[in-house]
Amino acid sequence: MAKLIDGKAVSASVRAQVAEEVEQLKQQGVTPGLAVVIVGDDPASRTYVNNKKKACAQTGIYSEEYALPATTTQEELMELIEKLNNKKDINGILVQSPLPNGLDEEAVVEAIVPEKDVDAFHPSNVGRIMIGNFHFLPCTPAGIIELLRSQDIEIQGKECVVIGRSNIVGKPMAMLLLHNNGTVTICHSKTKNLKEICKRADILVAAVGKPKFVTADMVKPGAVVIDVGMDRDENGKLCGDVDFAEVEKIAGYITPVPGGVGPMTIAMLLRNTLTAARLQNGLSM
């Protein structure tokens, strides 16, 4: 039976550390500030935004919410970003995706100044991650590295397989594993012999967005299985990209859904906001 990696416990310890460091910054006259922009009324986005605001309040980070109607134009959104770029008490800017149809998400990401891009989606920050000289890491991949560290799981020299090549999770995840000296394979919808490749993995990260996609016959006995998915099964119940009940029997470590990777994403966002405040105030990291 696999050992469960408890994301709630690990994220609580990251948040406690962030809260402590925020308090130290406040004593130096700096309060980290995060602006969260939400356009339209997507219920999942609303839940995420509320959770982020709550997490900021709990760790002492100042936050502002900008809730815009779905009818907001590209021009109006860009004007708001520009205003936030210049706002001194805001260190991090986060635009909740997905944006309503008709808005250019890429242009919005590029409009945020890189030093306030706490999602690490700006091309400049993506480039920094590629070469290994970064200030911010995308929250989900960074959270996964933190989960592996919490269990003293060695990445160096390990065969790592990432299923999924999104800009938000798959690609940066592969780069972080590579920076930690893993040997990395990225798989996707066009990959041949997917099962055989996955079965080689010492560390398998599933970020494919398909419920219970990773089955027991794709997993090497004793492997570390990280499930990034947030899906619904045939009964409408929350599940991940991994068939947990079956894979748990053969994996060495596994993350549950919910309560695995999810809580880490917000914890790392808080850490990025803290880093941004330090950078912008010329304070040591």
* Residue 229 near residue 208 (C-beta atoms within 8 A): yes
- Catalytic residue (one of 96, 158, 212, 227): 96
- What residues form the annotated binding site for NADP(+)? 164-166
In the 8-state DSSP scheme, what is residue 214?
Answer: B
- Catalytic residue (one of 116, 117, 119, 241): 119
202 counts as catalytic:
no
52 counts as catalytic:
yes
Per-residue tokens: 261: 């990777």
Instruction: Please tell me the distance from the alpha carbon of residue 159 to that of residue 203, in angstroms, as a whole number.
Output: 7
Instruction: Please tell me the distance from the alpha carbon of residue 140 to that of residue 134, in angstroms, as a whole number.
Output: 16
Radius of gyration of the chain (CA): 19
Nearest 10 degrees: Cα torsion 218, 222, 224, 225: 40
- What residues form the annotated binding site? 164-166
Per-residue tokens: 164: 């999924």
- Catalytic residue (one of 52, 158, 171, 220): 52
Instruction: Please tell me the distance from the alpha carbon of residue 211 to that of residue 241, in angstroms, as a whole number.
Output: 5
96 counts as catalytic:
yes
* Residue 71 near residue 13 (C-beta atoms within 8 A): no
Point out the residues that are catalytic: 52, 96, 119
